[in-house]
Structure 1
Amino acid sequence: MFRSCIAPKSLGINCRFVHEKGIYLRNESIGRHVRRWCRANIGSHGCAPTTAACVSTSSQTGSNYADGRDGKDSKSDRMQGKLEKMRRRQQRQDQLESSHLQKSGKVRAKQSKAWRPKEVVTYDIPTMPGEKKDTSVPLPDSYSPAYVESAWYAWWERMGFFKPEYAAGKNADAKPYVTCLPPPNVTGMLHLGHTLMVAIEDSLVRWHRMRGRPTLWIPGSDHAGIATQIMVEKSLWQHQRKTRHDLGRAKFTEEVWKWKKEKGDEIYRQLKQLGASLDWDRSKFTMDEDYAHSVREAFIHLHDNGTIYRSTQLVNWSCSLKSVISDIEVESKSIDGRKTVTVPGYAEPVEFGTLTLFSYPVHNSDESITVATTRLETMLGDTALAVHPDDMRYIHLIGQTVDHPFMGKSLPIIADPSVDREFGTGVVKITPAHDFRDYDLGQRHNLPSVTVINDTGCMTEDCRQFKGMKRFEARKAVAEALKEKGLFVGARDHPMDIPLCRRSKDIVEPMLKTQWFVDSRWMAQEAVASVESGQLKIVPEVHKKVWYNWLKNIRDWCISRQLWWGHRIPVYHITSSDDTYNKHLDNCWVSAHTEKEAVSKAAEKFQVPVEKIKAEQDPDVLDTWFSSALFPFAILGWPEKTSDLQRYFPTTMLETGHDILFFWVARMVMMSSELMGRLPFTEVYLHSMVRDAHGRKMSKSLGNVIDPLDVIHGSSLEDLHKKLMSGVKLDEPELSIALRGQRSDFPNGIPECGTDALRFALCTYKAQVEDLNLNIDTVLEYRHFCNKIWNAVRFTLNRLGQDFTPLTLHEISSELLPMDRWILSRLSAAAEACNWALEQYEFPTATTAIHQFWIQAFCDVYLESVKGTLASADQQSVRAAQNTLYHCVHAGLRLLSPFMPYLTEELYQRLPKVKGDDCPSVCVAKYPISNHFPTRDTKLEQEVELVMDTVRTMRSVQKEFGIKMPEASAQIVSDDMSIQKTLERFSDTMATLSRCSCVTVTSVAPPPSGWVYGLVNDSSTVYVSVKDSIDSEDLIKKLTARRKKLLTQLDNHVSSTKSDIEKIPLRVQEANRQKTLRLQSQLEKLESTLKQLEDAS
């Protein structure tokens, strides 16, 4: 029924954690994020580690999945000066370069040595899709993602758990919870940003479903006009050596649909792999015919009421794509000064970052006026010069004109308060046809707009001697021509932002174009008012500032694109076959679903006979964001009055990335308000961007893009390299950097972590405001967490036995022992924290509460403490302990289920059920709330916290003195009677947890001989016997040698930091001081230990 196999994509790691007080912990996590969390939680139940020491099974030189250095010590050591840091950095760089030059065979040999393959178990029982997994077989010995994640999703689908009708049949009056998945583009595979989105949204959806609400989460995919067209064109050229123009529009569109079928299916498969509980029967693609009908209807409505209009305005133009592009398609590349940039269509890189100064002669004067520009070629389209009205240097020239040296015309000198007197010379050349700020200024002063760059990026016929030149070649030619005329003043480095087309990497050119626009002003005002009034809630609120900034300064929205893939604009140019009517049909456009409808509509509107009308559809397509803006209601059937639209609109909330707050979220709000008369949702939750562990944006050229499936299934370094080289081709320098980046970040590849661990890890980050820097080590930590839960449930099932029938908590309430009541109180607290956190979108709070309950409370404390009870002859106590174990596991799995659906389903199905419980799956089971359990007992929790502080001290003493257990006994001495009484009640528990032979509580300290001690608090001390449990003489010798070594270290350190104190940077001085204090502290502790040992001997 099982088969064992070797998983070459897995890596085994053995970790040990040492508390600052010396407590030994096993199977805990590693990494900066968890160390910080642990430090913040010292003193909570269980043993929170603060310092990690990790031993990896990997023997490869270089970084492994775990950082083997002590976090605090290594940080201080790194602060010892720039020289040491630079030496280490250079050493690492040399290693990377050396590795890069190795032959592939040698690299593979080193890789195979580094990996330690680990046996995993896979589910190998024949199971038809949709058939329930066989859970009658025993659980494998250890957690295996491959085993756990098989078969469940298809069964969930077949059972209809993801449909709102499932819960509606049981709770018809409940208000439905509705949200839509932001539709991923059909341009390839899902990335980690999508995975974060799924992890957050699915946790919310599953939580609401488990609360009994009819829940609808609607999937979809976006046709992504520009992105998809470019990808298909590249593929077409790569495989057929043809362009879209070779095929023609109809054939090319067929090719895109083939691409969509392949990629769309793959995206949906990935979403299912991630466990996304979507209602697939309601899925929509934004080019489906019913969705296209919605798009046409929206355009027609807005065009007929004048909201959509045709106009000539300045737009972002990609000369490579020969199309308008949206603001989100424009990337800003910042440079500090002169730098060359590769531009499509140019044999040599083009220089940017130069501020060029040249002079215009003042008309009929000996004076000239100098201007500065970073785009010299656009001076051919200058129509004025502008100065600040209060700039005394030029006030006498306002109203005069200058002579253009090449275009044979005069340009007025105008005054405008928007001119920055500090930029350049304080004089600004105005080119309204090729600059957005110049365009606005030109509109204010009624300046003409002269286009001097055409659609392909070449100079127009009006540019005289420069006509036909490529724009950046013309830049050089204009400079030379100015020099010849004696008008060139000079050039200097200048920091600037270069606007790049995200898809083509061409330089974006502001161009004056006749396009279709949406008048957005009134809709934007309503969107602002909806947030100001509280009707629409944005979480976190810091993004409200962005919302207001965009919408209060909104420009009309250009919605036409010169592409072939997308929604063809449903608007027709109307002319007549009879010249008699044509004079009345100048630039007439009619919107309609079909040509026949357009002809009929035009005939009625313009009073022209139908047979005389000719209608030609605009060849352009709509901006992708236009169709996406209709998503919340178009997916429910609008404009038809469907039952889904009536019941599920408006949706409840929207979750998406903050980068598309304006481009998508605001436009959905505006379109819904205009077309539906109401908001599309009442809450918006915005997550941040996922970056790599170093905080860098994920980029293929850096080699740091992480495929979520590689994290789930694991991937060797060799496979990562192959994937990098098989996609979009990088040039040699970029490929070298990318390969080096992969070797640096993933020297052993990526270990198999599983879907649940990845989802949980992503939800542990504070993903609202700060960018999320994902470290694969963090995901691996939560794979270990899965294994810990797995073992805890196996232990529980073993202790319950085959014939166990659980009782309700009410039935066993009178039989519960203090530790039973304590763990149920902690469970109640965890349930309360989770429900509050999910209500407030505080996902890290929920995941922390779950993790702390399972690890610190249940596994580390309760399971250990209850082992003695389960082995006792007291049947009442055994029954109470068994039922407490059962309810903790049952509720703990339900708490975890929204975050880890696969693991919790696998284990939930193995649990026996309380009488009357007919719930078929954990995903539709009741989510725990605090009043499902006995009233929380905070006094008892405080008492057990005292007990655990005492146990931690006992463990610390045991470790510090190398005491063998369980030979040793312990005495707890306290002069506080209330503490004595509390600890006496838990003496057996403390003996079990500390592995002492016995624990007694007293107010009288034992004699010094034969005992060592540790302080619990101001009124309590732990004494542990050393008689027959340690070799005192041998230990004293070892500690004496260690003391001598520490003294030498301290002397050397103090001596090396004495001289030239004034020349040492303050941060290095502070690091030296901290190291001195640390060495002194270690020495003092060692002296104390030696004294105790000598007294005890």
Structure 2
Amino acid sequence: MSPQPPGRKKDVISPLPDSYSPQYVEAAWYPWWEKQGFFKPEYGRKSIGDANPRGVFMMCIPPPNVTGSLHLGHALTNAIQDSLTRWHRMRGETTLWNPGCDHAGIATQVVVEKKLMREKGMSRHDLGRENFIQEVWKWKNEKGDRIYHQLKKLGSSLDWDRACFTMDQKLSYAVQEAFIRMHDEGVIYRSKRLVNWSCTLNSAISDIEVDKKELTGRTLLPVPGYKEKVEFGVLVSFAYKVDGTDEEVIVATTRIETMLGDSGVSVHPADPRYQHLKGKMVLHPFCDRKMPIVFDDFVDMSFGTGAVKITPAHDHNDYEVGERHNLAFINILDENGLLINVPPPFLGMKRFEARKAVLQALKDRGHFREIKDNPMVVPVCSRSKDIVEPLLKPQWYVSCADMGKQAADAVREGRLKIIPDHHLKTWFNWLDNIRDWCISRQLWWGHRIPAYFITVNDPSVKPGEDMDGHYWISGKSEDEVREKAAKRFNVSADKISLRQDEDVLDTWFSSGIFPFSIFGWPNETQDLNVFYPGTLLETGHDILFFWVARMVMMGLKLTGKLPFKEVYLHAVVRDAHGRKMSKSLGNVIDPLDVITGISLEGLHALLTDSNLDPVEVEKAKQGQTSDYPNGIPECGTDALRFALCAYTSQGRDINLDVNRILGYRHFCNKLWNAVKFAMKTLGENFVPSEKAQLCGEESVSDRWILSRLSAAVALCDAGFKAYEFPTITTAIYNFWLYELCDVYLESVKPVFSKAEEDGSSQRQALVCRQTLYTCLDVGLRLLSPIMPFVSEELYQRLPRRRPQSDPPSISVTLYPDSEEFCWHSEEVDRDMEFVMTVIKTIRSLRADYNLTKTRADCYLQCTDSATASLLQRHSLQIQTLSYSQAVLPLTAEQPVPGGCAVAIASDRCTVNLMLKGIIDVEKEVAKLMTKKGDLEKAMEKLKEKMAKSDYKEKVPVKVQELDAEKLRQSQTELEKVKEAMENFRKMM
């Protein structure tokens, strides 16, 4: 069936197709939901400002990068967030899930720069800043909404009218305000420190943009700008001569080129080997620099020689040692990774070419001592794949100590809850030891820092040095800054010259104020009053500090309020083998390929279009062929969402197996068939009662299924409240599949058949129809938050209890409440559990004697009259579900006819299945004799093998365990065969 035009409700008058098709079901509901305004908090209300006794639920999306495309991590985030949002909406709360997109400074600039070079052969410098930014906006307007369309495919019920982009005017204004306030207060300041520097990007980058590549030893890695791979994972030892003596101090480093920037050697104060060198200097072999030997506790005496070279301008630990001992900070790298402030021949060399040259020069001068493999971690820029260099640069910083303490205290005092709580230790550890945050980036795309360096054109006023914070003034415009400066220096505004900082702010700065900037802060808006603070923040634990902690810190700092009350952190999605998702492994799957299906060839083609090198492409293809030999079948959005929620066990990573998602697609088919059958059973003229309630005439089957429905409602309610998603999915799955479909629908078939033949049974059938309708109505509403499409499709086919007043969509009906559906009965459940044990025992007996089509009489011998009475009440169910001819409960005194096969169901009931006259006894005995002989031979052979003298020494333990298990199974089977033969002999 072709999709409907946007905004039109799907055709639900025509009959349900014979089988479930995700494509058919998911074709047109979303545009209709959106058009009707169901996702807006205003829906069904005169004003969002009106108090809602049911409360307000607000959550903002973790804004995906504008460059991004959907991956399974996004799918997990959105499956969880949308399920929660839909649940709160169905509870009648004023509900807002606010969408947004992040401008992703570095990622977007890289994408557009590559496009510019590819299409026009130009760099951003060729274009100039203003024209380049116009190019980025053009790209954003053409391509930037792609991820929004993908989120809609996942059924995400976001209020798209409130979608925000972090570079929108409203959000940019908030970013400027936040910076200016914090700068004026001194919380933001300027300082010259070490930063993570990417020579390829020519920018400082945040810790989250640094991948830590672990090496076990010598490894050659590709580095942008170098034709040959560069050697890492080795430790080079060399000697510094001690000034005025014949002695030398041997030091070691994994970055030998940095010795050109050394300004000292450090040893431990307690190291006896170096006490005599206090106050001594070492000589640099390539220049006339004398460097002090300093004594510092940070040195590990047991590692190497116990002496460490100190390069304060190029290493984080060395920086602190340099500060403590007042060593020289010698910067030997420019922003492009070329050597500066070094003697010839190294001056102007590329850093990794200098690595080779310095090593050779040390050998030539007799200072080289040894080189050996060294396990290490190499910092790699996730955007450019360049090796990150610590570089000394003047940058803007946020002072975090006070804000960090407030964020930690909010959790300690219970005002902010983090779920699951095993993340608390990490939260406190990070915030209690927080470092100041470098927020400037040397990019063109982003929020330009609203700070200006002031020059006063008046000889009587000396403004001071560039690094002095007093002479950087921030403001929203040049006029505002000029006015501030004139006031500060007590001169006229025309004496002030300004130079705005060229840098932009770290993307996480604008993301940090996202929960309130989206509502118009710092202006007092209705949305800000109603929706801030939010209710919940749901995201992956990998951005706990980069985003979550910063939102908490900046929310408290700028608004005096926590941005949300709870933080729920989901796990990381891995593949079925527990491996991280990686393009080179071929296990990165686009959720849309799971939804619509893709061939193996299609998966291979995606690799060919990627940036992987040919070797990695081949490796990835092998991985795909192994995991998806037949490609990925069409699973649909509902099955994918259900699978992701079913996997989300708190605190554990998710090993996602596509075959399991396919299993939930089959579950959708089962739902489809169940509702199709049920609607046929209800009939065209069926009218549901106005309220779901017991009438007192329900059969034991009716009472049981309503009890199970109540239990499912309670479990779902508890699961959503505790963010225990597997509790919800298991409750729904078990109710629909194992209770409604497998038991209730089967057990009521005779009721409807009987009603057609016997008028007196029509009342029971009518009660049964009301029960069935309640199960469908409530069961679909339970399912709706997780499987929105199929639940809407099926719900729309059902008649309404109150056609004039019931909501038009399942997405805005009330979620089932355990107070309303309070029919749970432990007694009914216990009785039915016993009855199902009896049914399973009968089925097992039938299977033993291969009674696939033949029905047999079944005598249930009970130890007491109460059990016999219970089974009598359930006899129609037992007969139907066990495919028996007749079910006859007997008390202990009543004899069982001869010719029965016997099995014990429980200590209260023995099942006797009449086989006399149904099977050829002699033929069955002959078959069993053969089977008995085969089993005995196999067991004898196995026993001989296990009895050999060298068995325990030579045979692997795993094989021994398998042999023992095989013997146990054979013994059990042999006893069953003997028991069956004995039963047959009694019949002869």
TM-score normalised according to structure 2 size: 0.95
The counterpart of 1:881, out of the listed 746, 754, 768, is 768
1:1077 aligns with 2:972: no
Q: Percent identity?
A: 53
The 5 A counterparts of 1:455-854 are 455-576=335-456, 581=461, 588-726=471-609, 728-808=610-690, 812-854=694-736
1:986 aligns with 2:874: yes
- Match of 1:952? 840
Is 941-950 or 592-601 further displaced after alignment? 592-601
SS in 2 for 1:871: helix
Is 565-574 or 227-236 further displaced after alignment? 227-236
The 5 A counterparts of 1:96-495 are 123-124=1-2, 127-169=4-46, 172-495=52-375
Whether contact under 8 Å (1:1011, 1:1025) holds in the other structure is yes
SS in 2 for 1:393: helix
- Match of 1:43? none
Any stretches of 5+ residues in structure 1 without a counterpart?
A: 1-122
- Match of 1:82? none
The verdict on how the C-alpha distance between 1:804 and 1:425 changes in structure 2, with shifts beyond 3 A counting, is same
Whether contact under 8 Å (2:859, 2:896) holds in the other structure is no
Shift of 1:768: 2.8
- Match of 1:1017? 906
Shift of 1:1009: 4.8
Distance 1:809 1:567 in 2: 56
Whether contact under 8 Å (1:951, 1:994) holds in the other structure is yes
SS in 2 for 1:369: strand
- Match of 2:747? 865
Any stretches of 5+ residues in structure 2 without a counterpart?
A: none
Whether contact under 8 Å (2:710, 2:821) holds in the other structure is yes
Shift of 1:1088: 3.3
Whether contact under 8 Å (2:265, 2:309) holds in the other structure is yes
Is 615-624 or 456-465 further displaced after alignment? 456-465
Shift of 1:1008: 8.0
Distance 1:663 1:810 in 2: 49
The 5 A counterparts of 1:970-1009 are 970-1004=858-892, 1009=898
Whether contact under 8 Å (1:964, 1:1029) holds in the other structure is no
Task: Give the letter aligned to residue 218 of structure 2.
Answer: R
Is 695-704 or 1079-1088 further displaced after alignment? 1079-1088
Shift of 1:166: 1.8
Whether contact under 8 Å (2:58, 2:535) holds in the other structure is yes
- How far does the alpha carbon of each residue in 1:105-147 deviate from its partner, in whole angstroms, 9 at most, with x for none? xxxxxxxxxxxxxxxxxx337x331111121110011111111
- Match of 1:56? none
Distance 1:527 1:712 in 2: 40
TM-score normalised according to structure 1 size: 0.86
Shift of 1:447: 2.2
Task: Give the letter aligned to residue 839 of structure 1.
Answer: K
Shift of 1:1055: 4.6
- How far does the alpha carbon of each residue in 1:483-537 deviate from its partner, in whole angstroms, 9 at most, with x for none? 2222211111111111111111111111111111111111001111111111110
Whether contact under 8 Å (1:1008, 1:1096) holds in the other structure is no
- Match of 2:789? 902
The 5 A counterparts of 1:58-97 are none
Shift of 1:248: 2.2
- Match of 1:968? 856
Whether contact under 8 Å (2:454, 2:498) holds in the other structure is yes
Shift of 1:808: 4.7
- Match of 1:914? 801
Shift of 1:573: 1.8
Whether contact under 8 Å (1:575, 1:585) holds in the other structure is no
Shift of 1:270: 1.1
The verdict on how the C-alpha distance between 1:669 and 1:583 changes in structure 2, with shifts beyond 3 A counting, is closer
Whether contact under 8 Å (1:323, 1:563) holds in the other structure is yes
The verdict on how the C-alpha distance between 1:399 and 1:1040 changes in structure 2, with shifts beyond 3 A counting, is farther
Whether contact under 8 Å (1:168, 1:174) holds in the other structure is no
Whether contact under 8 Å (1:828, 1:931) holds in the other structure is no
Task: Give the letter aligned to residue 976 of structure 1.
Answer: D
Task: Give the letter aligned to residue 643 of structure 1.
Answer: Q
The verdict on how the C-alpha distance between 1:765 and 1:265 changes in structure 2, with shifts beyond 3 A counting, is same
Whether contact under 8 Å (2:743, 2:881) holds in the other structure is yes
- How far does the alpha carbon of each residue in 1:1017-1044 deviate from its partner, in whole angstroms, 9 at most, with x for none? 2332211122343344444444444444
Distance 2:570 2:126 in 1: 43
The verdict on how the C-alpha distance between 1:408 and 1:876 changes in structure 2, with shifts beyond 3 A counting, is same
Task: Give the letter aligned to residue 34 of structure 2.
Answer: E
The verdict on how the C-alpha distance between 1:359 and 1:1064 changes in structure 2, with shifts beyond 3 A counting, is farther
Shift of 1:985: 1.3
The verdict on how the C-alpha distance between 1:569 and 1:1086 changes in structure 2, with shifts beyond 3 A counting, is farther
Is 1025-1034 or 409-418 further displaced after alignment? 1025-1034
The verdict on how the C-alpha distance between 1:1050 and 1:393 changes in structure 2, with shifts beyond 3 A counting, is farther
The verdict on how the C-alpha distance between 1:1056 and 1:731 changes in structure 2, with shifts beyond 3 A counting, is farther
Shift of 1:541: 0.5
The verdict on how the C-alpha distance between 1:966 and 1:258 changes in structure 2, with shifts beyond 3 A counting, is farther
Count of aligned residue pairs for this structure pair: 973
Whether contact under 8 Å (1:965, 1:996) holds in the other structure is no
Is 746-755 or 233-242 further displaced after alignment? 233-242
SS in 1 for 2:97: strand
Shift of 1:1007: 6.0
1:1089 aligns with 2:966: no
Shift of 1:464: 3.6
Shift of 1:688: 1.0
Task: Give the letter aligned to residue 890 of structure 1.
Answer: D
The verdict on how the C-alpha distance between 1:1080 and 1:494 changes in structure 2, with shifts beyond 3 A counting, is farther
The verdict on how the C-alpha distance between 1:881 and 1:917 changes in structure 2, with shifts beyond 3 A counting, is farther
- How far does the alpha carbon of each residue in 1:917-958 deviate from its partner, in whole angstroms, 9 at most, with x for none? 522111111111223235321011000000001101111111
Task: Give the letter aligned to residue 177 of structure 1.
Answer: F
Shift of 1:752: 0.5
Shift of 1:876: 1.4
Across the aligned residues of Structure 1 and Structure 2, the Cα RMSD in angstroms comes to 2.0
- How far does the alpha carbon of each residue in 1:299-323 deviate from its partner, in whole angstroms, 9 at most, with x for none? 1111111111111001101111111
